[in-house]
Structure 1
């Protein structure tokens, strides 16, 4: 097993844990940090030109996977794996697309061949212009277009959450850049970047919860406790791991009590509810009982799943 220590992030590779048939599809340059697969569902698009979506998929993947997002060098097997599912809902005019985006990232668990779902988020309001073979230009200091701004935003969110999971609040530099992307995009007429009270599940509020809001800091701390001090320790020290997973859930509940149904709390539970229900079935009874009590307060919609934890 290899443990690689970069400047501010612990990157753990257990055997061939991260190796998959698609891992090296975007090249093996050490400067790249992401390994995303882009899928485009264009069934609703009113156009006969289907090639544009093949071109779009290739361009988006190259943008995400082909550039360096941080000065830290990642080996190919250390890159952050993710999926970007883009559903084209409408094409009101040539070159303009109305879409929803589902973003998912995973993180390897030390000492196993298991990958934990880190981020599972639906961006429901993305309107963008795209012409075949258009240059994918991005400047982190200014807004250029709604395509690369959104892709770069989620690239930095993925990096920030990954770093948070390996070191307490290790994602700060990346969440700051994501916040700057949001600020630069305020000039855009496109939705998703603004402080909308009617849409609290957009890019503005996600960035706000991760970088600006002090109320949400416990959720960020939960990412570290849950992954580095919990999931990574399940094999070597399960007793301590279960305690830390419970503590992570309590931190999410702490933030939720102050600010119910925040976008970050919902995002955390969307990614973790199924995993928590399975992992905690092996925990001591007192841990299970306390965890279920907290989980039912934070995420009552999954009550049946959490009550099953008590069965062991």
Structure 2
């Protein structure tokens, strides 16, 4: 009996740590506190640690990830003001990447600026989250972007694979609206916020082609460039045409802008090696979607 208990304890000791493979995120949080009116910088070190632990030590889905499969991301939080002790006004820049099959290259998936976040934080504050109710503006925002990051990543591996994650993000938005905090509401003067991003990812039928573009561009495009370059370039072109189609129906949507913010520089590098016909069609479409970057898209044809 004693031997049995010892074996059970040893199994628990060695096996339990392996459960971390169920975690899905590998985020680095950076906090720029230069504008904060406080001499106590320790609070920002604690904030960084607490936010990273919340994102990285929690299981966001039942799907198991190996450590090397976890979604890498950066969360840059810039403190704009600290009107009183424990109250912060900030902007957030979130970036995530996805590895490209058969290479060491990581493709930028999400590059989104959240310009209006207010929250309360004190030392050693426990970060509690419930996807069915609003508890605080810290965990609602962090969880929201965790699910957005997962949704876009899953969209890139299977057609519209991110649906369940966008649904949860949509629920977080609905719950947070009761707080009257900025960024969660249908503000027509600021369409680059959490409400509109989720609305276009989860509720908009006319913007579904952009979601399909994530799959075409990554799984059927970038992942094939090494083994089947001709097919890969064709699918990348098809992804660009999808984005053009969505932009024609709903110009300057936040989802189209978000896609191009992540992909414009990468497209210029990748397409320089594409066949001339692919380049020409791609540039023609890109000029319609993102005319502000016309100069660098035209440079593709010189490559």
TM-score class normalised by the smaller sequence = over 0.9
Q: Which residue of 1 aligns with 2:156?
A: 165
Are 2:194 and 1:209 equivalent residues in the alignment? Answer: no
- 3-state SS of the aligned residue for 1:57? helix
Aligned partners of 1:308, 1:78: CA distance in 2, in Å?
35
The equivalent of 1:144 in structure 2 is 135
Deviations along 1:200-255, one digit per CA (max 9) or x if unpaired, are 00000000010001011000000000000000000000001000000000000111
TM-fit CA distance, 1:68: 0.1
Name the counterpart of 1:3: none
Matched, 1:37 2:42: no
Bigger fraction of residues in helix = 2
Aligned to 1:111: 102
Specify the alignment match of 1:281 in structure 2. 272
The structure with the largest alpha-carbon Rg is: 2
Runs of 4 or more above 3 Å deviation: none
1:83 aligns with 2:74: yes
**1:60 — aligned with what?**
51
Give the gaps of 5 or more residues in structure 2: 1-17
Aligned to 1:46: 37
Match of 2:284 among 283, 293, 302: 293
Cα distance between partner residues in 2 of 1:28 and 1:113: 27
- Runs of at least 5 residues in structure 1 that lack an aligned partner in the other structure: 1-26
Q: Secondary structure at the match of 2:144?
A: helix
Equivalence for 2:184: 193
Question: Matched residue of 1:282: which SS?
Answer: coil
Aligned equivalent of 2:295, options 287, 304, 309: 304
- Contact 1:28–1:76 (8 Å) recurs in 2: no
Query: Hey, what's the Cα distance between the residues in 1 that align with 2:269 and 2:61?
Result: 34
C-alpha displacement of 1:189: 1.9
Partner of residue 237, structure 1: 228
Query: Whole-Å Cα distance in 1 between the matches of residues 180 and 220 of structure 2?
Result: 43
- Residue 258 of structure 1 is matched in structure 2 by 249
Determine the C-alpha separation between the residues in 1 that align with 2:161 and 2:188: 29
With structure 1 as the length reference, what TM-score do the two structures score?
0.91
- Looking at structure 2, the residues matched to 286 and 48 of structure 1 have their Cα atoms a distance apart, in angstroms, of 59
Q: TM-score under structure 2 normalisation?
A: 0.94
1:28 CA displacement: 7.7
SS of 2:109's equivalent in the other structure is strand
CA separation in 1, counterparts of 2:176 and 2:107? 32
Other structure's SS at 1:86 match? strand
Equivalent pair of 1:156/1:175 in contact (CA under 8 Å) = yes
Provide the C-alpha distance between the structure 2 equivalents of 1:177 and 1:113, rounded to a whole number of angstroms.
32
Offset from partner CA, 1:69-126 (integer Å, 9 cap, x none): 0000001000000000000000011111000000000000000000000000000000
Measure how far apart 1:268 and its partner are.
0.2
**Contact 1:33–1:80 (CA<8 Å) still a contact in 2?**
yes
| 1:20 aligned partner | none
Q: Provide the rounded CA distance (Å) in 1 between the counterparts of 2:108 and 2:234.
A: 20
C-alpha distance in structure 2 between counterparts of 1:221 and 1:210, whole Å: 11
1:180 to 137, 146, 171: 171
